[in-house]
Chain A
């Protein structure tokens, strides 16, 4: 059974800092990995999707990498802003979609 772990569970950084969120998974037989953002009381917004054949995807200040062999993905956020404060979830698509519990990010002005 696929297990998805996100560390740390919570992170607080000052504005402007570059940061990395981690996602690890136990079964490397995946189709893709997706990073989401969730604001309090809201649904999930897709940030980046990496197919299993890809190594990374970029969108603006966000860069996601995928290392299938080691079962890891990272989400890099450059020059963080208070508006980036949210919970970030990674989800791995294998036979089904498995989600991590998320990292709650707070960016302080």
Chain B
């Protein structure tokens, strides 16, 4: 199993440009997440999905959109990039068993995005 993969690994954008980050998992997990990590602030949840075709807002959703058209993929879009979106973006997935609540999250390697 490849686990959770993310593409691209690095990207530099100019202010106002758009891009899409792709996350893929081959573990058949229902839940998928997008986080951003900034120095000294830990990880913050941007958006998440509890299943194919569903998405929900996290802690810092503004400026981002997501889609989950297939169970194994979760896309994060930036329509008009801003310097404040310079960050490292992590995707994660997890599965759910009602009797044990949510199990552990598995993380991708991250995408380092710089917006100039």
Interface size on A, residues (CB 8 A): 23
B74 at interface by CB-CB < 8 Å: no
B105 near A100 with CB under 8 A, answer no
Interface of B is mostly: strand
User: How many A-B residue contacts, CB cutoff 8 Å?
Assistant: 53
Q: Closest residue of chain B to A101, judged by CB?
A: B42
Chain A residues within 8 Å of B42, by CB: 4, 89, 99-102
Among B40, B44, B102, B107, point to the contact of A32 (Cβ < 8 A): B102
A101 near B104 with CB under 8 A, answer no
A44 at interface by CB-CB < 8 Å: yes
Q: How far, in angstroms, from A101 to B90 measured CA to CA in the complex? A: 15
Interface size class of B (residues with CB under 8 A): 20 to 34
Q: Closest residue of chain A to B6, judged by CB?
A: A43
B62 at interface by CB-CB < 8 Å: no
Known: A49-B103, A51-B101, A93-B102. A43 touches B108 (CB 8 A): yes
Chain A residues within 8 Å of B107, by CB: 36, 43-46
B43 near A89 with CB under 8 A, answer yes
Residue of B58, B104, B107, B109 with most partner-chain A CB within 10 A: B104
- Fill in one digit per residue for B18-49: 1 if any A CB lies within 8 Å of its CB, else 0: 00000000000000010100001111110010
A34 at interface by CB-CB < 8 Å: yes
Q: Closest residue of chain A to B88, judged by CB?
A: A41
Known: A43-B107, A43-B110, A96-B59. A101 touches B41 (CB 8 A): yes
Q: How far, in angstroms, from A36 to B94 measured CA to CA in the complex? A: 14
Residue of B33, B58, B90, B101 with most partner-chain A CB within 10 A: B101
8 closest pairs, A vs B, by CB? Answer: A99-B42, A31-B101, A44-B107, A99-B43, A101-B42, A43-B107, A43-B109, A49-B104
- Residue contacts A-B, CB under 8 angstroms, 17 given: A4-B42, A31-B102, A32-B101, A34-B105, A43-B90, A43-B107, A44-B90, A44-B92, A51-B100, A51-B101, A91-B43, A91-B105, A93-B101, A93-B102, A97-B33, A99-B43, A101-B40
Which residues of B line the A interface, CB within 8 A?
4, 33, 35, 40-45, 48, 58-59, 90, 92, 100-110
